[in-house]
Amino acid sequence: MQKAYLILEDGSIFEGNSIGFSSTKYGEVVFNTSMTGYQEILTDPSYSGQIVVATYPLIGNYGINSSDSQSKQIQVKGYVIREYCEFPSHYDSELDLDTYLKDNDIPGIFDIDTRAVTKKLRFTGSMMGCITNNPNPEEELKNLLKQPHYLEVNHVLSVSSDSKYNWEQEDNSSLNDLKIAVIDCGVKFNILKNLSMRGCKVEVFPVDASLEKILENNPDGIVISPGPGDPSMLDQLSSTVEELIKVKPIFGICLGNQLIARALGANTFKLKFGHHGANHPVKDLRSGKVTISSQNHGFAIDPDTLPNDLSVSHVNLIDGTVEGIEHKNLPVMGIQFHSEASPGPLDNTYLFDRFIEKIKEEQNG
């Protein structure tokens, strides 16, 4: 069995065994606390540029299937797990995790103390690292320190679609006849599915689409998708969002939420180790209801910089960070968590319905 190493920029070296593609990949190392959904995590575009550490110890036991992916390929730079299940058992399973990683040229490492890695990241914060099969990890540490930092790269450009496309879905409902334009900063398939299931006709636009192109077919509403990295690198899109807010109902999810806030004058900041998991309690300040949410972001909105026309709609009950915003006068809303789940609980799919209600209220005057 081939040895592999997880190396962190502080000089920490963790030795384990290799899984997936034998290579060296660099990225920001973060941990995810989800107990299930590793395929959805691996294919989530918001993880572009990152190496993911799974805190749940057993990974690979139910295999890989053709229906759970959230994009066309694996998006993470590398995968770190405690115990790898070599022989999956599930009626939907089509191949094993090792083969899936190899098919996508993604290295992984297992048989390491993921608890120790997670505790280090919680104490020091997310840091750059690499997974390598180089038998001289000290040499690879020097190479790691020469790599561009995660925060220096606009990762959205690598995950957004190259051109406009229509999302086609067989179970599209006829209950609504709404046209939704989705700005693709790294959209997950389940967002498109949730909109389509509610009868919406979904048109997806690349992140650099012009205001004129987005409005060309007169959509009833705009969804700004999640995506990776620092929202301050997308200030050009924020300018587009600022104009869209004036003319259309808007729903921002995760990165989209931050872009709405920035478009209206608020600031964002880097979290110490981010929110990555499917067990974050969030309180809806409108209803008082607490739901468990799926989250994947490294930045948050600074509440002290919110303009007067934006109010906080949701808060995180773990650290008090802003989890949602709502415009006081316009049909504009944003959430910091993933209402579409995948992975995680479906507690928050109601927010798609809330957005559709806002569109209809706007249409009815």
Q: Which residues belong to the active site?
A: 254, 338, 340
Rounded distance between C-alpha atoms, residue 204 and residue 202, angstroms? 6
Among 337, 345, 46, 352, which residue's Cα sits nearest to residue 196?
A: 352
Reduced 3-state DSSP string for 337-349: CECCCCCCCCCCC
Helices (H), the chain: 38-42, 97-103, 114-124, 137-144, 156-159, 189-197, 211-215, 235-245, 255-263, 350-363
Residue 319 vs residues 193, 271, 272, 311, 316: alpha-carbon distances, Å: 31, 11, 11, 18, 6
H-assigned helices in 35-174: 38-42, 97-103, 114-124, 137-144, 156-159
Residues 51, 80: contact at Cβ < 8 Å? yes
Phi–psi pair at 255, nearest 5 degrees: -60, -35
Tokens of 79: 């995968």
Residue 90 CB: number of other CB atoms within 10 A? 11
**DSSP character for 305?**
G
CA angle 152, 153, 158 (to 5 degrees): 175
Return d(Cα 226, Cα 79) in angstroms, integer.
21
Q: Is 211 helix (H, G, I), strand (E, B) or coil?
A: helix
Q: Residue 118: how many CB atoms within 10 A of its CB?
A: 20
